[in-house]
Chains A and B, each alone.
Chain A
Amino acid sequence: MAFPFPFDSDAYHYSNNAVVLDPPCCFDVTGVYLPEMNHKRMLLERYPDRTFQSLPHTLDAQWEALGIVMRQLATFYPNDFGLTVSGETWTFENRKLKETHRFRFGDAASLTAEPLNFIGSHVQEDLILMMERDGELYLDAGQLAFPGNWSIAFDLGMPFLRIHEPVPVVNDSGLGRRVRKFLLGIGPEHPWCRLNWTLNAGSRLDTSPETFAEWGPLRYQVTAANAGELVHLRVESQTLLRLTGNPAILFTIHTHLMPLQEVVQVPGWGERLYRVLTSLSDPLTDYKGIRPYREPVLTYLELALGLPPAEKGGRG
């Protein structure tokens, strides 16, 4: 997949922007698969508490998710992944990482980690299981190596609306309830996808709140001179897939980064990003952490794109 540019208009507002995923593959094996997997596996090994959490009742759903992921990889990337099923014995090949894993489906002792954590170590996506009960969705298991400033160690077990309480507008406007209703209604016929975005000061994929002291200060070091290299457009390509054997939705998050100096090279992208940033509401600007470096980014874009400089108070 080419870089997923997230803006289809000059103004951005939260909405239920999910569309049917076609082809129905929730996984994107990109040209940076090897370095990202090496980095992800280092994080999983070094920081297990921060990168994987699960509640005991999710095990069956984790196995189902593992089966779905392996089948999709083998189907859509047959040169890179192989899957052989003989009764309960599964053999999974990851040819990119030169690994073969043989295990008994459903037998936890035959895997080196919980099923979701195991298969997550073969894909660039973060994997989240939202379990449904009593008309609500709960974040009951997940592997999260590249979080956009949220913590699975803290959010584990939270219902959908509570997870999104920090997000401005979503709950106040009723959008959260509408999205939850949509999610509860999706069936297994096809997965859905949507894009989420923010800006990153720095090129870290792992922007966990646990490590904010490492990457947060960069927000205050952005200047118009360094913004092209330092600031990145961060886009999450998300998919939603209803499981059939368990009351759960598999939520995948693939994080992409592009430095602004590359964004402005694509015709139309820089201008659109500029207009989105100038019109972005104050609550969203603050929530996305953009406030400290909004002005130098706008100045950079004006200079790079030859846009007339707007008066500081008149931007947006």
Chain B
Amino acid sequence: MASMFGIDDRARHHLVLSDRQGWPATRVLLRELADRGASRTCLRPTQARSDRDLADRLGQQAIGTHLYVAGRAPWVARVLRLAEGAGMLPSEVDAVRIGSPASHVFCIVCHSLFAHPQHNAACCPHCGASLWVTDHCSDRLDAAMGAVRLTQAERGHTDGQAVD
């Protein structure tokens, strides 16, 4: 299985963080880093970490450290905020979100937000639009974009069920 991360070859040190859901992704990354003989530290999901503890560890990182984060979207968002607060630049951080990328879906038709249905099709409860839930996510909105699903008739088929 290939790593979901791209390794930053310019980094002097690699810091890898994950929650329980993100552990499989970081395990692959760690193997690749080990194969390259790269300097690395891993904070495993079994190690309980408060925000203060995480912030301290991130703040202690030397210049040239690249951070890799994998886990549920809300947890990843929390770590990214802590990393930014610790002075890490966006170019020094890579993140992989496991499972639902966001808590909400943004209906592209009426611009309203509703709870993420945990699968890739949805009907907007506000305007009734038939949507498919994309992987395009907004941290500002904590939402995945719900794009318009065409019916089979609109795609030139004879029955009217929504497709895609």
Residues of A within 8 A of B (CB): 49-50, 134-136, 151, 153-159, 162, 165-166, 172, 174, 177, 209-210, 212-213, 216-217, 220-221, 292
Contact = CB atoms under 8 A, between A and B. Distances in A.
A135 B136 contact: no
B91 interface: yes
Nearest to A151: B108
A236 B90 CA distance: 29
Contact of B108 (A154, A174, A221, A292): A154
Contact of B90 (A134, A209, A216, A217): A134
Contacts of A134: 84, 89-90
A151 B155 CA distance: 23
B138 A155 contact: yes
Nearest to B152: A220
A159 B90 contact: yes
B111 A153 contact: yes
A156 B140 contact: yes
A174 B156 CA distance: 38
A210 B110 CA distance: 8
B154 interface: yes
B148 to A, nearest CB: 4
Nearest to A171: B6
Contact of A212 (B89, B106, B134, B147): B147
Contact of B134 (A166, A216, A292): A166
Contacts of A172: 6
A210 B135 CA distance: 17
A82 to B, nearest CB: 38
Contacts of B141: 154
Contacts of B90: 134-136, 159
Contact of A136 (B6, B91, B147): B91
B145 interface: yes
Contacts of A220: 154-156
A49 B140 contact: no
Interface in B120-136: 129, 134-136
A159 B137 CA distance: 11
Nearest to B136: A166
Contacts of A165: 135-136
A134 B84 CA distance: 9
B150 interface: yes
Nearest to A219: B155
Contacts of B54: none
B86 interface: no
Contacts of B138: 154-158
Interface string B29-45: 00000000000000000
A221 B150 contact: no
B111 A49 contact: yes
B150 A209 contact: no
A156 B155 CA distance: 31
Nearest to B156: A220
Contacts of B147: 209, 212
Given A134-B89, A166-B136, 18 more contacts: A134-B90, A154-B141, A155-B138, A162-B139, A166-B134, A166-B135, A172-B6, A209-B145, A209-B147, A210-B108, A212-B147, A212-B148, A213-B148, A213-B150, A213-B154, A217-B150, A217-B154, A220-B154
A217 B155 CA distance: 6
B35 to A, nearest CB: 20
Contacts of A136: 89-91
Contact of B6 (A156, A162, A174): A174
Contacts of A49: 111
